[in-house]
Amino acid sequence: MKASYEKLLQNNKSWAAETVKQDPDFFKRLASVQTPDFLWIGCSDSRVPADRVTGTQPGEIFVHRNIANMVIHTDMNLLAVLEYAVDHLKVKHIIVCGHYGCGGVKAAMSRHNFDLINKWIRNIKDVYRMHRDTIDHQTKANDRLDKLIELNVQEQVMNLAKTSIVQRAWKKRKAPEIHGWVYSLEDGLIKELSTMTHEDYLDPLYEFDDL
């Protein structure tokens, strides 16, 4: 009996062979350059694979994933990915995609101590506090969770707009557009929540004049 990870290597071999069979130049074409139009910021949840749920192929989507698809302005990992995607790859769209049933958001709504992870989900608790009335207006616990999941995505869209990286690109090339989406684990469908472009209102408190 093979170890479970060996199955992955075996799958990889079959996938590479099948891909070349279908399209002999596939790897030659992709090896030298990537020109994706999209940056995906999604949850690490194994049930929401960015390329599978969007039907995109290797080379089409630049991906960053973390617990609960957060855009935290001191997160060097996120910022490096964002700067590379926006300034170098010149992506046209950034997609923040949350998902219903998100464990990270659920954890933020609980009073349970998750040790180090507390520091991460504190940011989601802050989103709850900002929108407490809207969320608590929902009578069912599950609706409150769904609402926070949606509002959290929309806050992360705004967090992107607050970065000098996005604002500089908006000034220079009027792109990228930022999209807030939420994915349903139940039917595999994505719902659009919000879009932000260079023309949209951003609280002047967060605007940089000297980019």
| Residues marked as catalytic | 43, 45, 47, 99, 102
Toward Co ion, which CB reaches closer, 97 or 175? 97
Toward Co ion, which CB reaches closer, 39 or 43? 43
**Residues in contact with Co ion by the rule CB under 5 A:** 43, 45, 102, 104
Query: Using CA atoms, how far apart are residues 1 and 138, in angstroms rounded to an integer?
Result: 50
Three-state DSSP state, 189: coil
Cis peptide before 204 (omega within 30 of 0): no
Min dist. Cβ of residue 20 to Co ion (A): 34
Min dist. Cβ of residue 53 to Co ion (A): 13
Toward Co ion, which CB reaches closer, 45 or 150? 45
Min dist. Cβ of residue 23 to Co ion (A): 33
Q: Which residue has the tokens 């929902």?
A: 138
Toward Co ion, which CB reaches closer, 99 or 198? 99
Min dist. Cβ of residue 52 to Co ion (A): 16
Complete edge-to-edge strand list for the sheet that includes strand 93-99: 61-66, 38-43, 93-99, 177-183, 190-196
